[in-house]
């Protein structure tokens, strides 16, 4: 089967703020987008890597991926879901993808073992996601805690999320619900099974400006 990847880099990073969207800001010495692009484009099972970018972000995206195997840029949309949908349509037009990994550029550090596990899991189900068990106590409440939530069988879901291409394309075309935070939910809504593979703390998303503290300073750990 032909496996491709779609990296979502069309957001504005409003919660991080700053002059350029977070996916182009440096982390550990490289633009954030470059990290996951390197991991996906270097993986032997992935034949093409598409990158969804926002209007007017071409220069930043080119600069971020300078010198790497050429990315295929596609135009993103106003929401994450719309960026995925537009990306899937472009890939469908392009030809022969059987499987796809959909990944947030905001999760720069992508272990190759996670990619291996996701692709393997697609032999058994049309979807697979990396996830970590919840380790903190969970409760509902407003001012005060009102109800304890049993954390057993609860997961923190990450990306990349892997799918049989035709199934996730159809799921996006049929979706009429509210803005979902990920793609697996759309596959599940039409009865598609989604396997869990071991996630990684390395895959945590950069969401706030504090997520950049420390990781932007390569010398931080050595005490220089």
Q: Which residues bind ligand CTP (CB under 6 A)?
A: 8-15, 21, 23, 52, 76-80, 83, 104-106, 205, 207
- Residue 170: burial class (beta carbons within 10 Å; 0-12, 13-18, 19+): middle
Residue 219 DSSP one-character state: T
User: What's the min distance (Å) between Cβ of 221 and ligand CTP?
Assistant: 25
> Across-strand partners of 31?
26
Q: With contact defined as beta carbons under 8 Å apart, do 130 and 56 qualify?
A: no
Which CB, 63 or 78, lies closer to ligand CTP? 78
User: What's the min distance (Å) between Cβ of 106 and ligand CTP?
Assistant: 4
Which CB, 76 or 126, lies closer to ligand CTP? 76
User: What's the min distance (Å) between Cβ of 208 and ligand CTP?
Assistant: 8
Which CB, 139 or 207, lies closer to ligand CTP? 207
The two three-digit tokens of residue 43, written as one number? 């993986």
**Residue 121: alpha-carbon gap to chain centroid:** 17
Name the residue number minimizing CB distance to ligand CTP: 11
Which CB, 60 or 104, lies closer to ligand CTP? 104
Q: With contact defined as beta carbons under 8 Å apart, do 202 and 160 qualify?
A: no
Residue 49 backbone phi and psi in degrees, to 5: -120, 115
Reduced to 3 states (helix: H, G, I; strand: E, B; else coil), residue 121 is helix
User: What's the min distance (Å) between Cβ of 111 and ligand CTP?
Assistant: 18
Which CB, 6 or 197, lies closer to ligand CTP? 6
Asked if the peptide bond before residue 160 counts as cis, ω within 30 degrees of 0, the response is yes
User: What's the min distance (Å) between Cβ of 7 and ligand CTP?
Assistant: 8
């Amino acid at each position: 089967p032909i496996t491709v990847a779609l990296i979502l880099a069309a957001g504005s990073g409003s919660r991080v703020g700053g002059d350029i969207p977070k996916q182009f800001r440096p982390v550990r010495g490289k633009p954030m987008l470059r990290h996951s692009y390197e991991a996906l484009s270097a993986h032997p099972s992935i034949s093409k890597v598409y990158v969804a970018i926002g209007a007017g972000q071409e220069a930043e995206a080119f600069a971020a991926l300078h010198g790497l195997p050429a990315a295929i840029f596609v135009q993103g949309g106003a929401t994450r879901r719309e960026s995925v949908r537009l990306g899937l349509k472009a890939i469908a037009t392009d030809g022969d993808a059987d499987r796809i990994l959909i990944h947030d550029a905001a999760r720069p550090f992508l272990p190759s073992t996670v990619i291996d596990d996701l692709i393997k899991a697609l032999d058994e189900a049309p979807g697979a996601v990396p996830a970590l068990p919840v380790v903190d106590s969970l409760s509902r409440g407003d001012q005060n805690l009102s109800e304890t939530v049993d954390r057993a069988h609860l997961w923190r879901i990450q990306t990349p999320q892997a799918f049989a291409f035709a199934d996730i394309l159809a799921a996006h075309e049929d979706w009429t619900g509210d803005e979902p935070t990920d793609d697996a939910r759309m596959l599940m809504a039409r009865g598609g099974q989604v396997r869990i593979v071991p996630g990684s703390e390395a895959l945590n998303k950069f969401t706030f400006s504090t997520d950049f503290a420390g990781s932007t300073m390569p010398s931080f750990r050595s005490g220089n």
